[in-house]
Structure formats: C-alpha cells, structure tokens
Amino acid sequence: MELSLTLADGENTGDQLASLYRWLRQDPDITDHIDVRHGQGTAPPGTMSGTLEVINLAVSNTLALANLFVAVGAWRGTRRGAPEVRVERDGLVLTVTGDDPEKVRALIADLGTANRP
C-alpha cells in the first residue's frame, strides 16, 4: 500500500516534517515493514505554492499500518502545538490528530477500503 504523509499548514512545517521523518526512520517497528522515503509532492489545486515536501511510504501489511498511526500519534505527543498529519492513499486524505486506539482502527479501515469497488 502506497501512502504519503504531509502536515497541516503552519509555522516551521518543513522542520516539523523533517522531525517526523527522522522519528519514523529511527523506529524499527516502522522500518522493518515500511519503506520510508522523503520526497516531493504536488501542491493542491488552487494553491500558489509549487511543491510540498512529503514523506512517501510503502506499507507491507495492516499491522505495519497500525504501527505507523501509533508512531505518528506518539510523535505528535512530543510536540507542543503539533500539526495535524495528513495521510493520503489513492486520493483519499485522512487526518491524524492523536493515537486513540479506536480512531486508529477507524483510519486503518478507511484506508483499507480506499478505491476498492
């Protein structure tokens, strides 16, 4: 499953994204089952900016996806005023605002059914 992570617009977004990238790359529960790459994405339609930084992910299984959401929630817990993290798969965009287990399950279910007939 191919995903991309971006952050909600705000102050120091590039620095925050770099911090999240390092956080994910240092977590063996993530790197053992997810290919984490720093990349470029296109700006949303109607915006003035040319490109946005993104974290591209290739997730191998559902357990790895759950670990990803927990890791993102844990990273957000270490940041004062942590930005929302947007997860995109095949045009479906979901927002991570915490690490509540019930919300994590709902996000996984939503991503698992993205663009399925």
Domain-wise residue ranges, the chain: 2-42+51-112
What is the average per-residue pLDDT within 12-18? 82
C-alpha span between 73 and 114 (Å, rounded): 22
- The pLDDT value recorded for residue 105 is 75
Question: What H or E segment, with its residue span, contains residue 35?
Answer: strand 34-42
Asked if 7 and 13 count as a contact pair (C-beta separation under 8 A), the reply is yes
pLDDT tens, position by position, 39-58: 865 555 655 554 448 899 99
Residue with more model confidence, 37 or 39: 37
Does pLDDT of 31 surpass 90? yes
- The pLDDT value recorded for residue 66 is 85
> What is the pTM assigned to this prediction?
0.79
pLDDT tens, position by position, 49-92: 544 488 999 999 888 988 898 899 889 888 887 888 888 888 88
User: By C-alpha distance, which of 59, 74, 41 is closest to 108?
Assistant: 59
